[in-house]
Structure 1
Amino acid sequence: MEMALYHPHYGYYAANRGKIGAHGDFLTSPHLAVDFGELLAKQFAEMWQILGQPQSFTLVEIGAGQGLLAADVLSGLQRHHPDCFACLDYVIVEKAAALMAEQQQRLKSWQAKVKIEWRSLDEIPAHSITGCVFSNELIDAFPVHLVTLTDRKLQEIYVTAQPNGFAEVIDEPSTSRLTDYFDLNGIDLFSPNYPDGYRTEVNLAALDWLSLVCDRIQRGYILTIDYGYTATRYYNPRRSQGTLQCYYQHSHHNNPYINVGQQDITAHVDFTALEGQGDRCGLKTLGFTQQGLFLMALGLSDRLTALSQIDAKNAQDIQNAILRRDALHQLMNPMGLGNFGVLIQSKGLTKQETERPLIGLREF
């Protein structure tokens, strides 16, 4: 999965940047409407306020795709929160060189107005960030371990190459962390409820990533948006084949051994594991909610109301209003993007700062 997605020459994200979007293999919230980024900007501005309006406020976007979200966040802050914008440092952490080039081109006009840097997490000094580290549909593309139950034992699924293609091999786990993972999440895979042959994923990379991110923060927040479940839902005995999915030309299947380097490969996020790892790293979980509720609390409903009151004068204006309304409904659709998880964690905040409820986590 690591090579299929991130190989510098043949990986999906290295060679197929044009396959993201309405005419590609999949689209994300920023592809639908600028409102997604503008509403996030409102949340970031409140975080800046809670942190005491620091003169240097850093936003770190990890996995910025084509740069669409960055552009919308910057626009939202400049237009509606100029004081926060004036204090902003924007850092992008991007692994794929082709996507980085596209981001730099898209954000070129912004670089005269705000400090924008491209850095790796390793290049960011420890305890240096006052602000927010955020991601949208990032962790689902981290490489996962595949595991299975065989004769009531936890085994790992490996990949080997044969003359006629790839084949799976079942053997002992590569690390004891795989067994520890389920213990830490309160999941008893060896109970009678789990059938022999039960198959699922473990995202150890997500835990290592969160530890690294936590180490970089002095005072601030981590905001994670992705599709996933709590551990009890993720590892439900009836979900016996896991969540691994491949996306190719807006269709999906569960065979990662075809279209290698030409398709996206993802697995849902275990948000319980992120919360638990955060606790172990010294983070405090401020809240976990659905994207639809999060965006509604930030003002998405007001934008929909305003659209319904537009006095359109011509057919094009009417058409534009209908398309935008449809896009906003997709952002909060509980059967789609609206059901994505939004996890917000904090580090280094005072008790008073922690107890101040964030707008996006307030009940709508």
Structure 2
Amino acid sequence: MLLTEIIIKRIKNEGPLSFRDFMEMALYFPELGYYNSKKNKIGQDGDFYTSANLSESFGAMIGRQIEEMWEILDRKPFKIIEYGAGTGLLCRDILHYLKNNTKLYKHLSYCIIEKSESMRAVEKKYLIEKVTWHNSIKTIPDINGCILSNEVIDNFSVHQVIMDEELKEVFVDYDNGFIEVLQPAKKELKEYLKTLKVVLPKGYRTEINLEAIAWIKEVSQFLNKGYIITIDYGSFSSDLYRNARSSGTLLCYNKHQKNENPYQLIGYQDITSHTNFSALGRWGLKYGINYCGMIDQTNFLRALGIKEYQNRALNNPLCKSQVKIHESYINYGLLMAMGMKFKVLIQQKGINQNSLSGLKFAKTSVIKTIE
């Protein structure tokens, strides 16, 4: 049975689904949902690129930042917990850098939280040494180190809301095709906007990612001491809820083409929404996670010395000329085309030091947007 038919059957049996539940089925339904299917998702033959697919230098710079974090934590046993490792390339490149350039490697364990069996199978093609797989952070003991997510939060299933006379939530019904119906928004959705001091004008449509709040709460409970690095596209509330975004930020990707229709190609296209970093910061503070800083990915990588790292690689006599040209091209794409669109948020728990090399060019005033 096709996933579309399964969703239609559920709607007929249970009534309209919240958009959040529809998105959850479209992305994560066993074997048929986008992320649980065997479909190629990432890279040239997939639907989108991530920074890790463009250059191994991206993972090397993450490794360089993590090394500094380990130094701040007094060089003790250190865990990297990566959520949703995708193809495993970022993990591979981080470990390659740390193995060849630092003393951290022998003190390190790398844990990947991956629920999708199909994605685990892809990851295990690249990863053996140092890596273990888990369904949940709850099964990982004594976490002192770094929680890492790269383009994960944007794929959490979101509620969609529209401001009418009062806040309404979008539900999905079926009548010779999927149709949207509005129902009064539940308390949690109203409280989310109230906490962030967001007032929506009539007719405004947007997404609310309650799973991101649950995620930062869970991380806070199991991280004893260390850092959280969240890399994703998105912004603060002041940008996400401006008038120009009155239709929301939801986008779908299939074969490197984007569209705004989540009701087509169900199970065959990615569905994403922008990450609200104000929410991660605000609820992080509530749960004992302090704000270090946020910066665009381009300046994060520059601050960590990616140009110097690239130049050294390009001058390596063992590096073939074709590889040099390719690396230069993808480095430009990484830094310029993608880098300014992505943000890097760093938070910490149990540490007094805010100064990190990757945040050297960050604006200190943005802390006001989450307090």
2:312 matches 1:291: no
User: Structure 1 residues 311, 80: CA separation in 2 closer, same or farther (over 3 Å shift)?
Assistant: closer
Q: 1:160 aligns with which of 173, 184, 190?
A: 173
Q: Identity of aligned pairs, percent?
A: 38
**Pairwise CA distance, 1:8:** 1.2
Q: 1:207 aligns with which of 199, 204, 213?
A: 213
Could you state the TM-score of these two structures normalised by the residue count of structure 1? 0.89
1:325-340 counterparts in 2 under 5 A? 325-333=328-336, 335-340=337-342
Separation in 1 of the partners of 2:78 and 2:137? 20
Q: 1:140 aligns with which of 129, 143, 154?
A: 154
SS in 1 for 2:193: helix
CA contact (8 A) 1:124 1:216 kept: no
| Runs of at least 5 residues in structure 1 that lack an aligned partner in the other structure | none
2:95 matches 1:97: no
CA contact (8 A) 1:312 1:318 kept: no
Separation in 1 of the partners of 2:281 and 2:52? 25
CA contact (8 A) 1:16 1:262 kept: no
Q: Which amino acid aligns with 1:69?
A: L
Separation in 1 of the partners of 2:192 and 2:330? 38
User: Structure 1 residues 282, 12: CA separation in 2 closer, same or farther (over 3 Å shift)?
Assistant: same
User: Structure 1 residues 311, 202: CA separation in 2 closer, same or farther (over 3 Å shift)?
Assistant: closer
Separation in 1 of the partners of 2:47 and 2:272? 12
1:257-296 counterparts in 2 under 5 A? 257-296=263-302
- The number of aligned residues is 340
1:190-339 counterparts in 2 under 5 A? 194=201, 196-306=202-312, 310=315, 317-333=320-336, 335-339=337-341
Separation in 2 of the partners of 1:52 and 1:255? 49
Q: Which amino acid aligns with 2:43?
A: G
**Pairwise CA distance, 1:231:** 0.4
2:29 matches 1:26: no
Separation in 2 of the partners of 1:10 and 1:165? 20
Separation in 2 of the partners of 1:39 and 1:292? 11
CA contact (8 A) 2:55 2:327 kept: yes
1:341-356 counterparts in 2 under 5 A? 341-349=343-351, 351=352, 354-355=353-354
Separation in 2 of the partners of 1:161 and 1:105? 41
**Pairwise CA distance, 1:184:** 1.3
2:86 matches 1:65: yes
User: Structure 1 residues 122, 129: CA separation in 2 closer, same or farther (over 3 Å shift)?
Assistant: closer
| Runs of at least 5 residues in structure 2 that lack an aligned partner in the other structure | 1-22, 363-371
Q: Which amino acid aligns with 1:179?
A: K
Could you state the TM-score of these two structures normalised by the residue count of structure 2? 0.88
1:180-199 counterparts in 2 under 5 A? 180-189=191-200, 194=201, 196-199=202-205
**Pairwise CA distance, 1:120:** 2.3
CA contact (8 A) 1:223 1:343 kept: yes
Separation in 1 of the partners of 2:89 and 2:270? 19
Q: Which amino acid aligns with 1:157?
A: V
**Pairwise CA distance, 1:165:** 2.1
Paired residue for 2:357? Answer: 359
